[in-house]
């Protein structure tokens, strides 16, 4: 069978599948599942074009890795064929452990179990299945390989993961502020002392990259309507799980039912292979098919929450720099309980607060900081090298307080 396939990508054009092993990994059910998981979760509620998948993103990041390695080899840095394939596999599989609506899932069904750890577990399972051919890729993924720059291409503040999702998410949402000069940045890659650096000529492209990242977070990823949709899904899954544990009959696929009916701790998830087996069958379709059916469920709270989501009559949401006054919150809870004729315990599904945080750049990020290689071969952090006064402000963590409540209040 010919495994040298070409994929037509809307962002980069034609992408080559570089080896038979990578073709087989793409063909594996773990990876094919990503076709049915949206990259941006609930963002399509605001930007209707944001329906691209984690499959798209992983293939795009793989392509950027091929470009980056070609540039570095062209500058005289030694990267063996084995290292090149391993780095390509590591970036291809970096998101393989994401679940459907990943952040909502991590707050409800697989509470406290992070997708990065599930990605690692899946890579280890694949390594066994493929006879140890992923051993080097796993070493690169975990940063345990001597050539640090290869890990930095996979995971750092200027990794190829971020480079692809900014470009791709901007393309599909139509938010032009996220467009970055990915090709220019990659061409400015170099290696000094085993660390990835950017040549001085690329400084303005890096400034644009960091500013684009900040704008995309507040305009797309942390858009208040997107947050409202995600919070609503968290509450739906929380209510469904509460009912399932009590023995209430709920429509659900076998994979979703497994996590609704069982409290799976982090330790149990990694010790019992049954949990990973069920998780690997979960995608967006499991969740949304259930939500559509639960609209007519006899439990009034679950039914109301699902109606709000299906009809896109989402929570009203306020985003502020200061916490909401407790007196106002209490008044809203009382009004909601009275209007919806629900108990004071049930009102927590409809009126609640939370916090969100964003930091565009971490200047104290150790090996993952973005260093600029000056013409005299010295290095300086981008925040100090830039003549943009607002770039240093990107190093600050911005914290926002959110208040969610029904539109009828």
User: Domain spans of the chain?
Assistant: 6-222+362-395, 224-357
Residue 246 CB-half CA count within 13 A:
9
Interior CA angle at 234 toward 169 and 113, to 5°? 80
Q: Quote the tokens at residue 94.
A: 């970096």
User: pLDDT 10s per residue in the chain (409 long)?
Assistant: 678 899 999 999 999 999 999 999 999 999 999 999 999 999 999 999 999 999 999 999 999 999 999 999 999 999 999 999 999 999 999 999 999 998 778 778 887 788 889 999 999 999 999 999 999 999 999 999 999 999 999 999 999 999 999 999 999 999 998 899 999 999 999 999 999 999 999 999 999 999 999 999 999 999 999 999 999 999 999 999 999 999 999 999 999 999 999 998 889 999 999 999 999 999 999 999 999 999 999 999 999 999 999 999 999 999 999 999 999 999 999 999 999 999 999 999 999 999 999 888 887 776 678 999 999 989 998 888 877 656 667 778 889 999 999 998 7
Pick from 131, 149, 150: nearest CA to 82: 150
Q: What is the pLDDT of residue 361?
A: 87
DSSP structure class, residue 53: B
Q: What is the pLDDT of residue 117?
A: 92
Could you confirm whether domain 224-357 is CATH 1.10.3720.10?
no
CB contact at 8 A, 172 and 44: no
Q: What is the pLDDT of residue 197?
A: 96
Residue 308 CB-half CA count within 13 A:
23
Nearest-angstrom CA–CA distance, 333 and 23: 54
Q: What is the pLDDT of residue 109?
A: 83
CB contact at 8 A, 188 and 158: no
pTM to 2 decimal places: 0.94
3-class SS of residue 350: coil
3-class SS of residue 181: coil
CATH number belonging to domain 6-222+362-395 = 1.10.3210.10
270-to-108, 178, 281, 336 alpha-carbon distances in Å: 18, 37, 16, 41
**Sequence-separated (6 or more) residues with CB below 8 Å from residue 277:** none
Q: What is the pLDDT of residue 388?
A: 64
């Amino acid at each position: 069978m010919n495994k040298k396939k070409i994929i037509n990508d809307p962002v980069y054009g034609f992408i080559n599948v570089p080896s038979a092993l990578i073709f087989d990994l793409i063909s594996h059910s773990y990876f094919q599942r990503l076709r049915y998981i949206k990259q941006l979760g609930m963002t399509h509620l605001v930007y209707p074009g944001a329906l691209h998948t984690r499959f798209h993103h992983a293939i795009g990041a793989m392509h950027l890795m091929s470009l980056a390695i070609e540039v570095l080899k062209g500058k005289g840095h030694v990267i063996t064929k084995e290292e090149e394939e391993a780095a390509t596999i590591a970036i291809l599989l970096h998101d393989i452990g994401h679940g459907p609506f990943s952040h909502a899932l991590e707050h409800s069904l697989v509470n406290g179990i992070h997708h990065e750890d599930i990605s690692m577990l899946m890579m280890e399972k694949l390594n066994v299945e493929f006879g140890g051919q992923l051993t080097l890729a796993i070493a690169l993924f975990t940063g345990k390989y001597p050539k640090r720059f290869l890990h930095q291409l996979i995971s750092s503040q200027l990794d190829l993961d971020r480079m692809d999702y900014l470009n791709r998410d901007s393309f599909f949402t139509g938010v032009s502020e996220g467009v970055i000069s990915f090709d220019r940045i990659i061409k400015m890659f170099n290696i000094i002392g085993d660390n990835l650096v950017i040549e001085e000529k690329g400084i303005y492209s890096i400034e644009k990259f960091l500013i684009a990242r900040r704008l995309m977070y507040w305009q797309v990823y942390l858009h208040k309507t997107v947050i409202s949709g995600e919070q609503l899904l968290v509450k739906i899954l929380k209510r469904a799980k509460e009912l399932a544990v009590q023995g209430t009959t709920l429509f659900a696929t076998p994979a979703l039912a497994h996590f609704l009916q069982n409290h799976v701790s982090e330790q149990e998830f990694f010790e019992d292979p049954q949990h990973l087996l069920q998780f690997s069958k979960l995608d967006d379709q499991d969740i949304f098919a259930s939500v559509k059916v639960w609209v007519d469920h006899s439990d009034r709270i679950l039914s109301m929450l699902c109606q709000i989501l299906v009809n896109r009559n989402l929570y009203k949401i306020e985003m502020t720099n200061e916490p909401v006054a407790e007196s106002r919150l209490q008044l809203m809870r009382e009004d909601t309980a009275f209007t919806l004729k629900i108990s004071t315990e049930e009102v927590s599904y409809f009126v609640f607060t939370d916090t969100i945080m964003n930091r565009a750049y971490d200047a104290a990020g150790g090996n993952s900081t973005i260093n600029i290689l000056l013409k005299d071969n010295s290095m300086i952090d981008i925040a100090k090298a830039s003549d943009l006064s607002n770039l240093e402000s990107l190093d600050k963590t911005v914290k926002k307080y959110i208040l969610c409540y029904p539109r009828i209040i």
